Amino acid sequence: MDNSDNTVSTKYWRHLDNDHTLCTLCPRFCELREGKRGVCYIRMAQGGEIVLTSYGRSSGFCIDPIEKKPLHHFLPGTPVLSFGTAGCNLTCAFCQNWDISKSRHMETLSASATPEQLAKMAEQTGCRSVAFTYNDPVIFMEYALDVAAACHARDIKTIAVTAGYINPEPRRDFFAGMDAANVDLKGFTESFYHRICGGHLAPVLDTLRYLKQETKVWFELTTLLIPGENDSAEELEAMCRWIADELGPDVPLHFTAFHPDFHMLDKPSTSMASLLQARDIAKAHGLHYVYVGNVHDVADGSTWCPSCGKLVIERDYYRLGSWAIHDGCCQHCGAKIAGVFENQPGTWGPKRLPVEIR
């Protein structure tokens, strides 16, 4: 096996009779000859096992507002140290971070940091959490989990921004290291996942059920609405009904606006009418916290108490305004507001601050 500091052994694989190695991390089950990489690019067959080739490497480190993940009910207003690597185990034609997630060049990983360096930087810069984002942390889970352990030793939370495309056994290990997650529910038909994302819907739904039923991870959902692809009233009705029945009314749902990118340059941007239709459908199915994103809409980016209907967290993009939550409850009527809150919100605002870790 390569002795590079960036290449480490992994756990989820098995040998096949044809001398190939099967990666069992995600539902793709890549069958690899020696020296070949999986669809994710950063996991490779080497020395008779599957190795991660990007340990400790990143496309860069940046301090973001927590609301950008997006997470609206997890330590609002606080800064989060964010980073990703390269590659992805889905092949979404609409990817908004394609320069990172679709990269096949290790030069993309121009920054490096040990888990301890990352945790220390988060602590020194006042970040309450570290987010594994920009590309899917499932594929670099060994690095992510070591960073999570170092962060937890310093009382820093960890966040996965993920598509949830992972097999059951590694899923237990992965989410055991996470305090919060935003899961991309990219659509609600098998056809959409197969044609547009190169994957399947069922494993994602299994991950969401797992998070709800078997973990204490705070999680929120995001669906990027693509005109003519996953935004029909029929599909949104089915999705919101499933969320209400399987996950309950308190899981926040973010409908975000698509803009033409990567292999979907021919699609128009999502209209405000489409976002508001999706919001109305979700509300009609009893979901308490429904947001629209990638557009300027203070009312539909803010949090309203599901009991009394009054404003509890005002948001203007990533900037917080009025705040009416105390001990996790609405200050107007005393009803519980689902999430992880402190009595005073953070004050980071919309700043984006690249950082260099040495």
To the question of whether residue 308 is assigned a binding role by annotation, the answer is no
Distances (CA, A) of 224 to 109, 220, 309, 310: 27, 13, 26, 27
With a CB cutoff of 8 Å and minimum separation 6, the contacts of 280 are none
State the DSSP string of 212-249.
HHH---EEEEEEEE-TTTT--HHHHHHHHHHHHHHT-T
CA–CA distance, 24 with 11 (Å, rounded to integer): 9
Residue 95 annotated as binding site: yes
Cα(223)–Cα(52) distance, integer angstroms: 29
Q: Quick one: residue 35, left, alpha or beta (phi over 0 = left, psi -120 to 50 = alpha)?
A: left
**Running DSSP on this structure, what letter comes out for residue 17?**
T
List the structure tokens of 139: 């594929």
Is 222 exposed, middle or buried, given 0-12, 13-18 or 19+ CB atoms closer than 10 A? buried
Strands 111-112 and 129-132, sheet pairing? unpaired
Residue 305 is labelled as binding a ligand = no
Tokens of 282: 């979700």
Residue with tokens 């899917």: 136
* CA-closest candidate to residue 55, choices 124, 130, 5: 5
Residue matched to tokens 């509300």: 283
CB 154 within 8 A of CB 131: no
Cβ atoms within 10 Å, residue 272:
14
Count Cα neighbours of 220 within 13 Å in the Cβ-side half-sphere. 25
How many Å apart are CA 133 and CA 153, to the nearest integer? Answer: 21
Binding-site residue numbers are 88, 92, 95
Binding-site residue numbers for [4Fe-4S] cluster are 88, 92, 95
